[in-house]
A and B are shown apart, each in its own frame.
Chain A
Amino acid sequence: MDKPKSNFFAPFKGIKYMIQKPVTIRVPEEEREAQKRYRGFHTNDWEECIGCGTCADICPTDAINMEKVPDYDAPEGEKDERPVIDYGRCCFCGFCVDICTTGSLKMSKDYIYMDEDADTFLYIPDEEGLNKNYPKEGYERNEDTDLLDLERIAMRYTKSKKRKDSFLEYVKGFSKEEAKREAARCVECGICTDRCPAHMDIPEYINTIWDDNLEEGVEWMYETNPLPNICGRVCTHKCEDVCTISHRGEPIAIRWLKRYIVDNAPEDVYEEVVLSNVSKEGEGSIAIIGAGPAGLSAAYYLRTIGYDVDIYEKEELAGGVMRYGIPRYRLPDEAIDKDILFIEKIGVNIHRNTKVGKDIKFSKLREKHDVVFISTGFMEPRHLKIKGSDHPDVVAAMDFLPKVRDFVRDKKQMPEVAEKVVVIGGGDVAYDVGRSVARLQNIKYGKVDVTLTALEKKEDLPAGEDEIQEGKEEGLEIYPASGPVEIIIENDEIKGLKTAECIALFDDKGNFNPKLNKDNTEIHEASQVFISIGQAPNYDYLPDNIKEELEFKGPQIKINEKTHQTSMDWLFAGGDIVNGPDIINGVADGHNAAKAIDDYIRSNK
């Protein structure tokens, strides 16, 4: 290596810089604008922000805290908290912006702030920025910097061609790898827990999949829901509607993850977890009428406290609407059996084929037990009163669906279905009817001709998106915004359904009162009409004196919301006969009622 030689004059060559322009900037007289991607002080759009707290979770310096906004009543799917940033700790890494689930949190180019008061460095980002005058946007999240995984793992289904005449379960469930990938997308914000009627610990059980600890997953689920096999298949998943990931991507498949845990947790682990939940604390005896979601849920939680629980079920099999309403391709018997098996294993007595009022008197129950809980559900059809609706070929959904399940269990004859069928209704039950009819038609005639008519507009259909999509795949045709006017009968045979355009569902006062445009009608040809416009309760098991004492609001029983008691302190009620409209609400109701019954028995000791 040749090293430079010493040169006496060399240093003087630096003198030329004396006549050059200085490179420094005179701050603060001169302002220097930061570069485009600069990670400066934060801004946050409060309208967009949902307070999920993911920014605080990723923050490497614990600079972000979520604080409650005073006097703010957060709507569903949102928390009443907003991030507060401590600029004494913030390192401006921008990970909070990268992971922000809604995209409300951003960074500006603003980077100078001075104040004598140290408290002002605790800053609640808003749209104006820390210096209140800085609209210039700096660092932005993009596809590369994004720290969320926005794409849902697709569920595998049996193809519509194969499932068209089969009542076998068509949702195949996640494999281990798929479940883990899906579980890894969750940010554990807990907004789903707030939304779930049963307040299931969703982030916690999703975590157990990611951590390969399904035993704990089962534990977490039984904390709030003793019917995970059932809910893992047919829950209306309100949680997914509010999932924070859905703001920028597809929501986590919470329902399928729940199903994954219960399908894959080893049987012995399952048993250990469920059986270990039972204590011997409670002393008392409870009668439950109806082994549906609410009844089973109440029974489970009461039994875990130690009470003696007897369920009286009029049907041959327990499960209520789950057993006799929902078709088998969505909810197989094995899933229902598994959940009920564990409830029985912990010591709940289910008296099947025992109709209260007929096989056992209501007064006897009152004598035998300290408390009676009624949860008999909405198992009767609601009738439609239009011209021709009294024809024998007009079939109610709740009369038809149990027959289909019985047929699938190879017990009874195939229910009658015509070649051309119209179903009145656009909810989940209407789709259950339509899709069951389609399967039966395929078996009988080798083709499908099912038309659904719904009052609601296409975008407002009450049925779940999956149902609508899968129904379409199976050949169902839907006519939204069509109100039934008349069932056309010729020579004592149904010829079709006449519908009129539905202009409005509610009147000026907000009451349900569909308005039809009779000038715009349509005729749907069919020789059989199914009606699925809702269900109704049946209180014939209650003695008249009890019925007289009970208070009703419409078809439902009025209870004290806190204590779950009816107007009689020993009579509790829950499920569809109190609050609707689905299984998970029933489970929640049963759980809350169990707590209330426990309080009642303890306070009366």
Chain B
Amino acid sequence: MILQHFENQESGIMNAIRENPESASPRKKLALETARLGKRLYSNTDDLVWAGPLIPFDLLNAMDVTPAFAEFIASILVSTDAGPLFFENAEQAGYASDTCGYHRMLMGSALKGMIPTPKLLISAMSPCTGGLAAMENLARVFKKDLFILHIPQKESDHGVRILADHIRDMAESVSSHTGKVLDNDRLRKAMENTNKTREILSDIYTLAQQVPSPVNGRDLSNFGIVLPLFFGTEVGIEIAQAFYDELKSRIKANRSGVPGERIRLMWLQNRIQFKNNLVKMLEKEFNASIVVDELNVITWDPIDPEDPYIGLARRSISSPLNGTVERRVKQIVKLAEAYKIDGAINPCHWGCRQGTGARGLIDSRMKEIGVPVLNLEVDCVDPRNFAEGQLITRIEAFMEMIESRPSPW
């Protein structure tokens, strides 16, 4: 059933582009490649490793091991017809309905045998212990080993060296569970690809900062979370290049992402993963654009292809999802200034410490620079908890408030 979903998605996009080549867009390219990845995950042909956030997917790609990114798969399953059933399964198995929807979705679908069996599971201690517990549960369901990557919370040379060694251990574990050997030349090439993608991403984010921004609220949603799945591959470069070219051409044509852009917003943490009208409503009624997502950011330097483990370790440690809230808040403020945003929306995803736990600290620091924050309480994954009317009132009131005050910039 899920394989069919990905096959339909792939053929649907390809047909649409064939029938109308002008409809091709970077967003479609990304959707096409994620559908293809989904197909590989469910085709029983590839060696799979389940992995959570902050795991270096490029290392897995270099080993010809397909990364099954847990939260990514959960968000895909939400859009299938069986989504609500999976949530119910998880709740019947004891997952409280107000815990993280990503993890409930994973557990519910695993218990129904609807997610593919990996050779190994890898989870980091960071960013969330709930995610680690979900992976432990999955390992038990699959009767497979779980490798836990300990990511230091603080960036220091000592911590980087320890994590670099630990990533090496991880690669060895992947190798022993899949039989795939990590070839040095392939690893070097993968790191070169990662660096190239990084460079284009950095250019994309610079273009997105322009006033008015060439991006609309949908172009780069989930971008910084999904693209790492393609790090280390040629496909990753192609996707990034497609986005860069599109933004460049919009700028050349003097076309902003949202016509007549009046309000610039930042979306914190994750987007709402199921279909909803909020972003379109923002554009249509307020000429407001989400010009930046918190996780659409490059926090790491290029990786030295001759000594990749150090660079990979630095990258994982530098993630805004790792370490103290203080560090995360600094990063958010930096983005707010770079993108000249008028306000930020924090969905405060249900049952998530990243979303809800940090909100007071984010609010007070943003207030200091004159940027208001709208805190919602949304289950970003489970549409059964979605009260659209209530959310629209809050967002509209936030827009009215922003319209009535001078720009912070």
Pairing of A with B: no
